[in-house]
Structure 1
Protein backbone atom coordinates (compact mmCIF):
# COMPACT_ATOMS: atom_id res chain seq x y z
CA UNK A 1 0.00 0.00 0.00
CA UNK A 2 1.07 3.57 -0.61
CA UNK A 3 1.42 6.58 1.58
CA UNK A 4 1.21 9.97 -0.02
CA UNK A 5 0.22 13.56 0.50
CA UNK A 6 -3.25 14.29 1.95
CA UNK A 7 -6.00 13.33 -0.47
CA UNK A 8 -3.85 10.83 -2.36
CA UNK A 9 -5.19 7.32 -2.47
CA UNK A 10 -3.93 5.27 0.44
CA UNK A 11 -5.59 2.06 -0.73
CA UNK A 12 -3.96 1.91 -4.16
CA UNK A 13 -2.96 -1.67 -4.95
CA UNK A 14 0.77 -2.27 -5.27
CA UNK A 15 0.18 -3.82 -8.67
CA UNK A 16 -2.68 -4.07 -11.14
CA UNK A 17 -3.14 -5.53 -14.60
CA UNK A 18 -5.53 -4.19 -17.22
CA UNK A 19 -6.40 -5.96 -20.45
CA UNK A 20 -6.08 -3.78 -23.54
CA UNK A 21 -6.49 -4.69 -27.22
CA UNK A 22 -2.67 -4.70 -27.52
CA UNK A 23 -2.09 -6.97 -24.53
CA UNK A 24 -1.81 -6.75 -20.76
CA UNK A 25 -0.96 -3.39 -19.17
CA UNK A 26 0.76 -3.80 -15.82
CA UNK A 27 0.86 -0.90 -13.35
CA UNK A 28 3.47 -1.39 -10.65
CA UNK A 29 5.45 0.84 -8.29
CA UNK A 30 8.27 2.75 -9.97
CA UNK A 31 11.63 1.30 -8.94
CA UNK A 32 15.30 2.31 -9.34
CA UNK A 33 15.63 -0.40 -12.03
CA UNK A 34 13.37 1.75 -14.26
CA UNK A 35 16.13 4.36 -14.59
CA UNK A 36 17.47 3.15 -17.95
CA UNK A 37 14.12 2.70 -19.74
CA UNK A 38 12.98 6.09 -18.42
CA UNK A 39 16.19 7.72 -19.71
CA UNK A 40 15.75 6.07 -23.12
CA UNK A 41 12.08 7.06 -23.45
CA UNK A 42 12.74 10.64 -22.35
CA UNK A 43 15.63 11.01 -24.79
CA UNK A 44 12.92 11.23 -27.47
CA UNK A 45 12.03 14.89 -27.85
CA UNK A 46 8.54 13.96 -29.07
CA UNK A 47 7.91 12.86 -25.46
CA UNK A 48 10.11 15.24 -23.48
CA UNK A 49 8.93 18.41 -25.23
CA UNK A 50 5.75 18.26 -23.13
CA UNK A 51 7.66 17.90 -19.84
CA UNK A 52 9.00 21.38 -19.13
CA UNK A 53 10.94 20.45 -15.99
CA UNK A 54 13.21 17.91 -17.70
CA UNK A 55 15.93 18.63 -20.27
CA UNK A 56 16.39 16.48 -23.36
CA UNK A 57 18.54 14.53 -23.23
CA UNK A 58 18.47 14.02 -19.48
CA UNK A 59 21.73 14.61 -17.68
CA UNK A 60 22.69 12.19 -14.90
CA UNK A 61 21.95 14.60 -12.05
CA UNK A 62 18.48 15.48 -13.36
CA UNK A 63 17.68 11.82 -13.98
CA UNK A 64 18.70 10.99 -10.40
CA UNK A 65 16.45 13.77 -9.07
CA UNK A 66 13.56 12.60 -11.26
CA UNK A 67 13.99 9.01 -10.05
CA UNK A 68 14.06 10.25 -6.44
CA UNK A 69 10.82 12.10 -7.12
CA UNK A 70 9.14 9.06 -8.68
CA UNK A 71 10.36 6.60 -6.05
CA UNK A 72 10.16 8.95 -3.06
CA UNK A 73 7.44 9.69 -0.58
CA UNK A 74 4.83 12.40 -0.90
CA UNK A 75 3.45 11.11 -4.18
CA UNK A 76 2.33 7.87 -5.76
CA UNK A 77 3.95 6.67 -8.97
CA UNK A 78 3.36 3.68 -11.22
CA UNK A 79 5.49 2.30 -14.02
CA UNK A 80 3.47 1.14 -17.02
CA UNK A 81 4.44 -2.06 -18.83
CA UNK A 82 2.65 -3.48 -21.84
CA UNK A 83 3.32 -7.20 -22.27
CA UNK A 84 6.38 -6.83 -20.02
CA UNK A 85 7.86 -3.86 -21.92
CA UNK A 86 8.33 -0.46 -20.26
CA UNK A 87 5.85 2.01 -21.74
CA UNK A 88 5.65 5.02 -19.42
CA UNK A 89 4.86 6.59 -16.06
CA UNK A 90 1.76 7.87 -14.29
CA UNK A 91 2.04 9.62 -10.92
CA UNK A 92 -0.02 11.64 -8.49
CA UNK A 93 1.19 14.27 -6.06
CA UNK A 94 -0.41 17.72 -6.09
CA UNK A 95 -1.42 16.90 -9.68
CA UNK A 96 -1.75 13.87 -11.92
CA UNK A 97 1.12 13.51 -14.37
CA UNK A 98 1.70 10.93 -17.09
CA UNK A 99 3.73 10.22 -20.17
CA UNK A 100 4.09 7.27 -22.53
CA UNK A 101 7.04 6.35 -24.75
CA UNK A 102 6.36 7.50 -28.32
CA UNK A 103 6.19 4.03 -29.86
CA UNK A 104 3.20 3.26 -27.60
CA UNK A 105 1.14 6.36 -28.37
CA UNK A 106 -2.42 5.76 -29.56
CA UNK A 107 -2.84 2.35 -27.93
CA UNK A 108 -5.04 3.39 -25.00
CA UNK A 109 -2.24 3.01 -22.46
CA UNK A 110 -2.33 6.53 -21.02
CA UNK A 111 -6.13 6.72 -20.90
CA UNK A 112 -6.39 3.30 -19.22
CA UNK A 113 -3.71 4.13 -16.65
CA UNK A 114 -5.07 7.60 -15.85
CA UNK A 115 -8.63 6.22 -15.64
CA UNK A 116 -7.40 3.53 -13.20
CA UNK A 117 -5.60 6.10 -11.05
CA UNK A 118 -8.57 8.49 -10.97
CA UNK A 119 -11.01 5.70 -10.16
CA UNK A 120 -8.89 4.55 -7.20
CA UNK A 121 -8.32 8.14 -6.05
CA UNK A 122 -12.03 8.94 -5.92
CA UNK A 123 -12.84 5.61 -4.26
CA UNK A 124 -11.29 7.14 -1.12
CA UNK A 125 -13.74 9.10 1.03
CA UNK A 126 -11.32 12.04 1.16
CA UNK A 127 -10.45 11.96 -2.55
CA UNK A 128 -9.89 15.65 -3.30
CA UNK A 129 -10.32 17.21 -6.73
CA UNK A 130 -7.52 16.36 -9.13
CA UNK A 131 -5.48 18.83 -11.15
CA UNK A 132 -3.46 18.33 -14.32
CA UNK A 133 -1.18 20.83 -16.04
CA UNK A 134 -0.78 20.10 -19.75
CA UNK A 135 1.34 21.82 -22.40
CA UNK A 136 -1.00 23.86 -24.61
CA UNK A 137 0.17 22.01 -27.74
CA UNK A 138 -0.33 18.54 -26.24
CA UNK A 139 -3.70 17.97 -27.92
CA UNK A 140 -3.69 14.21 -27.24
CA UNK A 141 -3.35 14.59 -23.47
CA UNK A 142 -5.85 17.45 -23.32
CA UNK A 143 -8.37 15.32 -25.24
CA UNK A 144 -7.71 12.31 -22.98
CA UNK A 145 -8.24 14.33 -19.79
CA UNK A 146 -11.37 16.08 -21.07
CA UNK A 147 -12.81 12.71 -22.12
CA UNK A 148 -12.28 11.55 -18.52
CA UNK A 149 -14.21 14.56 -17.19
CA UNK A 150 -11.42 17.06 -16.51
CA UNK A 151 -12.45 20.64 -17.22
CA UNK A 152 -10.27 23.53 -18.36
CA UNK A 153 -9.87 26.36 -15.90
CA UNK A 154 -9.21 29.98 -16.78
CA UNK A 155 -5.65 29.58 -15.53
CA UNK A 156 -2.71 29.13 -17.83
CA UNK A 157 0.64 28.55 -16.17
CA UNK A 158 3.83 29.77 -17.73
CA UNK A 159 7.05 27.96 -16.97
CA UNK A 160 10.52 27.63 -18.35
CA UNK A 161 11.01 24.61 -20.58
CA UNK A 162 14.40 22.96 -20.38
CA UNK A 163 13.72 21.34 -23.77
CA UNK A 164 12.92 24.46 -25.80
CA UNK A 165 14.79 26.81 -23.44
CA UNK A 166 11.84 29.22 -23.63
CA UNK A 167 8.80 30.07 -21.52
CA UNK A 168 5.96 27.66 -22.36
CA UNK A 169 2.26 27.73 -21.49
CA UNK A 170 0.40 24.94 -19.70
CA UNK A 171 -3.37 24.59 -19.36
CA UNK A 172 -4.71 23.80 -15.89
CA UNK A 173 -7.49 21.22 -15.89
CA UNK A 174 -9.42 19.96 -12.84
CA UNK A 175 -11.64 17.01 -12.08
CA UNK A 176 -14.00 17.01 -9.10
CA UNK A 177 -15.29 13.89 -7.42
CA UNK A 178 -18.86 14.83 -8.41
CA UNK A 179 -17.91 15.19 -12.10
CA UNK A 180 -16.16 11.81 -11.95
CA UNK A 181 -19.20 10.19 -10.30
CA UNK A 182 -21.57 11.74 -12.86
CA UNK A 183 -19.39 10.55 -15.74
CA UNK A 184 -19.18 7.05 -14.24
CA UNK A 185 -22.99 6.98 -13.88
CA UNK A 186 -23.47 8.11 -17.51
CA UNK A 187 -21.06 5.41 -18.69
CA UNK A 188 -22.86 2.78 -16.61
CA UNK A 189 -26.25 3.85 -18.01
CA UNK A 190 -24.87 3.77 -21.56
CA UNK A 191 -23.47 0.27 -21.02
CA UNK A 192 -26.72 -0.93 -19.41
CA UNK A 193 -28.83 0.44 -22.30
CA UNK A 194 -26.82 -1.64 -24.77
CA UNK A 195 -27.89 -4.83 -22.97
CA UNK A 196 -31.61 -4.01 -22.77
Structure 2
Protein backbone atom coordinates (compact mmCIF):
# COMPACT_ATOMS: atom_id res chain seq x y z
CA UNK A 1 0.00 0.00 0.00
CA UNK A 2 1.36 3.39 -0.97
CA UNK A 3 2.39 6.09 1.46
CA UNK A 4 0.73 9.38 0.48
CA UNK A 5 2.27 12.72 1.43
CA UNK A 6 0.58 16.08 1.83
CA UNK A 7 1.82 19.45 3.04
CA UNK A 8 1.11 18.81 6.73
CA UNK A 9 0.03 15.17 6.99
CA UNK A 10 0.83 11.86 5.42
CA UNK A 11 -1.12 8.63 5.00
CA UNK A 12 0.78 5.46 5.78
CA UNK A 13 0.18 1.76 6.18
CA UNK A 14 -0.70 0.82 9.72
CA UNK A 15 0.94 -2.03 11.61
CA UNK A 16 0.04 -4.04 14.72
CA UNK A 17 2.32 -1.70 16.67
CA UNK A 18 -0.23 1.08 16.04
CA UNK A 19 -2.80 -0.62 18.30
CA UNK A 20 -2.32 1.75 21.28
CA UNK A 21 -2.76 4.83 19.05
CA UNK A 22 -5.79 3.28 17.34
CA UNK A 23 -7.27 2.45 20.73
CA UNK A 24 -6.77 6.05 21.87
CA UNK A 25 -8.61 7.32 18.77
CA UNK A 26 -11.48 4.83 18.78
CA UNK A 27 -12.04 4.89 22.55
CA UNK A 28 -12.69 8.64 22.67
CA UNK A 29 -16.46 9.04 23.24
CA UNK A 30 -16.53 12.53 21.73
CA UNK A 31 -14.66 11.51 18.57
CA UNK A 32 -16.85 8.41 18.24
CA UNK A 33 -20.13 10.22 18.99
CA UNK A 34 -21.51 9.85 15.46
CA UNK A 35 -20.05 6.46 14.48
CA UNK A 36 -22.17 3.40 13.73
CA UNK A 37 -20.68 1.53 16.69
CA UNK A 38 -19.74 2.55 20.23
CA UNK A 39 -16.26 3.60 21.39
CA UNK A 40 -13.72 0.88 22.09
CA UNK A 41 -13.35 -0.19 25.69
CA UNK A 42 -10.40 -2.59 25.35
CA UNK A 43 -7.08 -2.55 23.51
CA UNK A 44 -7.90 -5.93 21.97
CA UNK A 45 -10.63 -4.22 19.90
CA UNK A 46 -7.99 -2.01 18.27
CA UNK A 47 -5.75 -5.02 17.74
CA UNK A 48 -8.63 -6.90 16.07
CA UNK A 49 -9.43 -3.90 13.85
CA UNK A 50 -5.83 -3.65 12.71
CA UNK A 51 -5.69 -7.40 12.01
CA UNK A 52 -8.89 -7.17 9.90
CA UNK A 53 -7.63 -4.09 8.06
CA UNK A 54 -4.23 -5.65 7.32
CA UNK A 55 -5.90 -8.83 6.02
CA UNK A 56 -8.43 -6.80 4.00
CA UNK A 57 -5.65 -4.72 2.45
CA UNK A 58 -3.88 -7.93 1.38
CA UNK A 59 -7.11 -8.98 -0.37
CA UNK A 60 -7.69 -5.49 -1.89
CA UNK A 61 -11.09 -5.06 -0.24
CA UNK A 62 -10.01 -2.28 2.11
CA UNK A 63 -7.29 0.39 2.05
CA UNK A 64 -6.69 1.58 5.62
CA UNK A 65 -4.23 4.40 6.22
CA UNK A 66 -3.02 6.01 9.39
CA UNK A 67 -2.95 9.80 9.29
CA UNK A 68 0.46 10.86 10.52
CA UNK A 69 1.74 14.28 11.48
CA UNK A 70 5.28 14.83 12.74
CA UNK A 71 5.69 11.08 13.35
CA UNK A 72 2.50 10.77 15.40
CA UNK A 73 -0.58 8.78 14.35
CA UNK A 74 -3.44 11.30 14.66
CA UNK A 75 -6.25 9.58 12.74
CA UNK A 76 -7.32 7.16 10.07
CA UNK A 77 -8.68 7.31 6.54
CA UNK A 78 -10.09 4.15 5.01
CA UNK A 79 -11.44 3.14 1.64
CA UNK A 80 -13.63 0.16 2.50
CA UNK A 81 -16.03 -2.07 0.61
CA UNK A 82 -13.56 -1.49 -2.19
CA UNK A 83 -14.90 -2.77 -5.50
CA UNK A 84 -12.25 -2.22 -8.15
CA UNK A 85 -14.21 -3.92 -10.93
CA UNK A 86 -17.30 -1.87 -10.06
CA UNK A 87 -15.26 1.32 -9.70
CA UNK A 88 -16.48 2.30 -6.23
CA UNK A 89 -15.59 2.37 -2.57
CA UNK A 90 -16.85 3.79 0.70
CA UNK A 91 -14.86 6.36 2.63
CA UNK A 92 -14.38 6.59 6.37
CA UNK A 93 -12.19 8.82 8.52
CA UNK A 94 -11.47 9.71 12.12
CA UNK A 95 -9.21 12.43 13.50
CA UNK A 96 -8.02 12.91 17.08
CA UNK A 97 -10.11 15.67 18.63
CA UNK A 98 -6.93 17.54 19.62
CA UNK A 99 -6.40 18.08 15.87
CA UNK A 100 -9.95 19.17 14.97
CA UNK A 101 -10.47 22.53 13.29
CA UNK A 102 -7.04 22.74 11.65
CA UNK A 103 -7.92 21.52 8.15
CA UNK A 104 -5.95 18.29 8.65
CA UNK A 105 -8.90 16.00 7.97
CA UNK A 106 -9.59 17.79 4.69
CA UNK A 107 -5.97 17.37 3.63
CA UNK A 108 -5.84 13.70 4.64
CA UNK A 109 -9.17 12.77 3.08
CA UNK A 110 -8.18 14.69 -0.07
CA UNK A 111 -5.05 12.54 -0.38
CA UNK A 112 -7.19 9.39 -0.19
CA UNK A 113 -9.65 10.75 -2.76
CA UNK A 114 -6.83 11.62 -5.17
CA UNK A 115 -5.48 8.09 -4.79
CA UNK A 116 -8.92 6.53 -5.29
CA UNK A 117 -9.59 8.39 -8.52
CA UNK A 118 -6.14 8.79 -10.06
CA UNK A 119 -4.28 5.65 -8.97
CA UNK A 120 -7.09 3.12 -8.46
CA UNK A 121 -9.24 4.47 -11.28
CA UNK A 122 -12.44 4.46 -9.23
CA UNK A 123 -15.38 6.41 -10.60
CA UNK A 124 -17.35 6.84 -7.34
CA UNK A 125 -16.81 7.28 -3.61
CA UNK A 126 -19.52 7.16 -0.98
CA UNK A 127 -19.70 8.29 2.63
CA UNK A 128 -22.31 7.45 5.25
CA UNK A 129 -22.55 9.98 8.10
CA UNK A 130 -24.81 10.77 10.99
CA UNK A 131 -26.70 13.89 9.84
CA UNK A 132 -26.09 15.49 13.24
CA UNK A 133 -22.35 15.49 12.53
CA UNK A 134 -22.21 18.96 11.00
CA UNK A 135 -18.40 19.08 10.92
CA UNK A 136 -18.25 15.91 8.83
CA UNK A 137 -21.05 17.16 6.60
CA UNK A 138 -19.16 20.41 5.94
CA UNK A 139 -15.93 18.51 5.28
CA UNK A 140 -17.56 16.28 2.69
CA UNK A 141 -19.27 19.20 0.99
CA UNK A 142 -15.99 21.20 0.86
CA UNK A 143 -14.45 18.19 -0.88
CA UNK A 144 -17.25 18.15 -3.47
CA UNK A 145 -19.48 15.37 -2.12
CA UNK A 146 -23.20 15.69 -2.76
CA UNK A 147 -25.87 14.53 -0.34
CA UNK A 148 -27.73 11.83 -2.24
CA UNK A 149 -29.94 10.19 0.32
CA UNK A 150 -31.26 9.90 3.82
CA UNK A 151 -31.94 6.64 5.64
CA UNK A 152 -34.15 6.94 8.69
CA UNK A 153 -33.36 4.91 11.79
CA UNK A 154 -30.51 3.07 10.07
CA UNK A 155 -28.31 2.40 13.10
CA UNK A 156 -28.81 1.53 16.73
CA UNK A 157 -25.66 2.32 18.71
CA UNK A 158 -25.62 1.70 22.44
CA UNK A 159 -29.40 1.84 22.47
CA UNK A 160 -29.64 5.10 20.48
CA UNK A 161 -31.38 4.89 17.10
CA UNK A 162 -29.85 7.20 14.51
CA UNK A 163 -30.34 8.21 10.90
CA UNK A 164 -27.79 8.25 8.07
CA UNK A 165 -27.07 10.83 5.40
CA UNK A 166 -25.50 9.33 2.27
CA UNK A 167 -22.99 11.34 0.26
CA UNK A 168 -21.40 10.59 -3.09
CA UNK A 169 -18.54 11.97 -5.17
CA UNK A 170 -17.84 11.07 -8.79
CA UNK A 171 -14.35 11.08 -10.28
CA UNK A 172 -15.41 13.60 -12.93
CA UNK A 173 -16.48 15.99 -10.14
CA UNK A 174 -13.19 15.81 -8.26
CA UNK A 175 -10.67 18.54 -8.86
CA UNK A 176 -8.05 17.95 -6.11
CA UNK A 177 -9.61 20.61 -3.91
Which category of TM-score, normalised to the shorter sequence, fits these structures? Answer: 0.7 to 0.9
Instruction: Report the structure number with the largest CA radius of gyration.
Output: 1
Q: CA deviation at 1:35?
A: 0.6
The whole-number CA distance in structure 2 between the counterparts of 1:100 and 1:155 is 24
Matches within 5 A, 1:1-196: 2=1, 14-20=2-8, 25-53=9-37, 55-73=38-56, 74-94=61-81, 95-124=90-119, 126-156=121-151, 158-162=154-158, 165-180=159-174, 183-184=175-176
Q: Is the CA contact 2:31–2:95 (under 8 Å) kept in the aligned structure 1?
A: yes
Q: Is the CA contact 2:77–2:91 (under 8 Å) kept in the aligned structure 1?
A: yes
3-state SS of 2:17 partner:
helix
Q: Is the CA contact 2:76–2:94 (under 8 Å) kept in the aligned structure 1?
A: yes
Q: Which has the higher strand share?
A: 2
Q: Is the CA contact 1:70–1:91 (under 8 Å) kept in the aligned structure 2?
A: no
RMSD: 1.9
3-state SS of 1:47 partner:
coil
The number of equivalent residue pairs is 164
Q: Return the TM-score normalized by structure 1.
A: 0.76
Q: Which has the higher helix share?
A: 1
Q: Return the TM-score normalized by structure 2.
A: 0.83
Structure 2, unaligned stretches of length 5 or more?
82-89
Structure 1, unaligned stretches of length 5 or more?
3-13, 188-196
Give the direction of change, closer, same or farther, for the CA distance of 1:176–1:86 in structure 2 (3 Å limit).
Answer: same
